[in-house]
Structure 1
C-alpha cells in the first residue's frame, strides 16, 4: 500500500516558513518522495507499518496548517495518470521491460 501526504501550511511569518521547511525535511528524511509541491508519497508494506507512519506524521506535524494522509493500494496507485502541459523527452515510459521493482 502507499501513503500519500497532502499538506497546506502557512508561510507568512519566518516561524511558519521554518515549520514548513522542518516538516518537508522530516518527510524527505523518512523516505517520502515528492509527487508535486506539497504532495509526498511513501510505500508501506503492511497496514501495521502504515499505522506507524501515520503516527509519526502526527507527532511531527507543524502546529498550524492542514496535513492529510490518503492510504491506497499499489493497484490503485498504479492507475495514476500523469498529465503534463508540455511533452518532455524521456518523461513517459514507453514500456516497463527495464523497470525495476524493489
Structure 2
C-alpha cells in the first residue's frame, strides 16, 4: 500500500516559507519521498500501518494550509497514468531510470 500526501501551504512570508520547509523535511524524515512538488508518497505494509502513519502526520501539520492524505493499494497505484508533454517525454527518454528494491 501507499500513502500519498498532497498539500498546498502558503509561502508568502518568510515565516510561512520556514514552516512549509519544516513540513517537507518532516515528511522526508518519516520516510516519504517527493513524487511531484507538494506531492509526497510513502510505501507501507498494510492498512493498519497506513492509518498509523496518517495519524502521525497530525503532529507535524503546519498552522495553515491544506494537507490531504490518501491511502491506495499497489494495484490502484499501478493503474496510474502519467501524461507528459512532448518536451517532458524527450527529457524522460534521455535520463536513465533508477531501480528501487525493497
Fold match (TM-score > 0.5): yes
- Residues 47 and 82 (structure 1 numbering): CA distance in 2 closer, same or farther, change over 3 Å? same
RMSD: 1.8
* TM-score, normalised relative to structure 1: 0.85
Which residue of the partner structure matches residue 29 of structure 1? Answer: 29
Extract structure 1 runs of 4+ deviating beyond 6 A.
Answer: none
CA distance in 2, matches of 1:26, 1:71: 19
Distance 2:50 2:6 in 1: 16
Normalized per residue, the structure richer in helix is 2
TM-score, normalised relative to structure 2: 0.85
Q: Which consecutive unaligned segments of at least 5 residues does structure 2 have?
A: none
Aligned residues: 97
Q: Which runs of 5+ in 1 are unaligned?
A: 94-98
